[in-house]
Amino acid sequence: MKAIVITTGGGPEVLQLQQVEDPELKDDEVLIKVEATALNRADTLQRKGSYPPPKGASPYPGLECSGTIQAVGKNVLGWRVGDQVCALLSGGGYAEKVAVPAGQVLPIPLGVSLKEAAGLPEVACTVWSTVFMMSRLSARETFLVHGGSSGIGTFAIQIAKSKGATVFATAGNEEKLAFCKSLGADLCINYKTEDFVACVKEETGGKGVDVILDCIGAAYLQRNLDSLNFDGRLCIIGLQGGAVTEIKLNTLFPKRLTVQGSSQHEEHITEHYIVYKYSQATYISTDAPTSHQAFAFPKLKHSHILKTAAKNRAALRPRNPENKAMVVNEVEKNVWPEIVAGKVKPIIYKSFPLSEAGEAHKLMESNEHIGKILLVP
């Protein structure tokens, strides 16, 4: 088969279409003839050499795809040769064929083309696992998504609205703001010309929002905390604005705020801290602590520098197949019906031939697109 090979870490020019061996099919996997794959920020980082694939994963980039099943492993139930599907991958989407654990495969939602479905698995699994499973956004709550015109942002706006939330979105120009509005965002904020904290406070009567999905990281951390309501939840899925910052802990105390991270999109993301408040103490941990199990920092006064550290266990890409299958199952139960009902749709900006993967990366890194960019073998 042909696949995009990263010849060395570097710019888009290092992405080369080459003849490679077909993937080996394991007993619990299906082999998919790829119809299309979609770009993600993690692909550009892998290309640069700063985000290698997990152990045992395909060396080729690509975290999602759609296509037709060509073969099934002997332990696979529920899928047959000829089924049209899309899938969440650990890598290998930039190829003509990919092998994937059967639990990470999804049917094509009614009303979505096979090609368009390539842009669904990664955004659907990321948004559902972070905004709903981790941050527990519910109907009648308020939700702010940064980068509302991105693949993640366009999907988050739609699914949050379909579940009854009030949605605020930030974007960088009038075209992108108008598109966010067309998807259902109740308030669209130009982050280049407006203060999103002031806009959020004005729109909510000074309360703030209940949940924030953030792709910026350090540069926005304190402002995000200032934008949250009591018992607000901040989920950080990217570090485009840096990985290290200082915050005022007295922002957390009175409002009982939660900060958590889950991402495979940004350089240097390795450990994910959750900041909890119990009584008058603050705990920083990678798991939800009990009243007697937590990492206490008694010497902290007004601030603490949050750093990333070791394991990356909250991200989608390095999770084990069983954990990914759980997320995929939740997405099929909770998100796919919204797509079938026409409340959520894939937003595809442009498609490129697989041989032009470098040009597709240039477009993604220009930040001129809205929604997803596809590659077609």
For 85-124, how does the pLDDT look when each residue is reduced to its tens digit (9 = 90+)?
999 999 999 999 999 999 999 999 999 999 999 999 999 9
| Residue-level pLDDT at 316 | 76
DSSP 23: P
pLDDT digits (tens, 9 = 90+) for 43-99: 999 999 998 999 899 999 999 999 999 999 999 999 999 999 999 999 999 999 999
pLDDT grade for 247, boundaries at 50, 70 and 90: confident
Would you call 12 exposed, middle or buried from its count of C-beta atoms within 10 A (0-12, 13-18, 19+)?
Answer: middle
pLDDT at residue 256 greater than cutoff 50: yes
Higher-scoring residue by pLDDT: 327, 262: 327
Q: How does strand 209-214 pair with strand 166-171? A: unpaired
Q: DSSP letter for 371, please.
A: B
Residues 6+ apart with CB under 8 A from 322: 103
Buried b (16+ CB within 10 A) or exposed e, 72-110: bbeebeebeeebebbbbbbbbbbbebbbbbbbbbbebbe
Tokens encoding 147: 């980068």
Strand order in the sheet with 187-190: 187-190, 166-171, 142-145, 209-214, 228-236, 258-261, 274-278, 281-285
284 pLDDT higher than 80? no
pLDDT the model gives residue 317: 77
- In this predicted model, which residue has the larger pLDDT, 81 or 278? 81
311 Cβ neighbours under 8 A, 6+ residues apart = 270, 271, 286
Q: Check pLDDT > 80 for residue 308.
A: no
Q: Give residue-wise pLDDT tens across range 170-190.
A: 999 999 999 999 999 999 999
Residue 298 burial (CB count, 10 A)? 6
Residue 21 DSSP code: P
Contact 89, 104 (CB under 8 A): yes
pLDDT at 262: 79
Q: Which pLDDT score, from 0 to 100, does residue 320 have?
A: 85
Domains of the chain from N-terminus onward:
2-120+346-376 (3.90.180.10), 124-306 (3.40.50.720)
The model's pTM is 0.87
For residue 267, name the pLDDT band (cuts at 50, 70, 90): very low
Identify the pLDDT of residue 294. 31
The 3-state DSSP class for residue 122 equals helix
Q: Say how many Å lie between the first and final Cα of the chain, rounded.
A: 10
**pLDDT 10s digits, 7-16:** 999 999 999 9
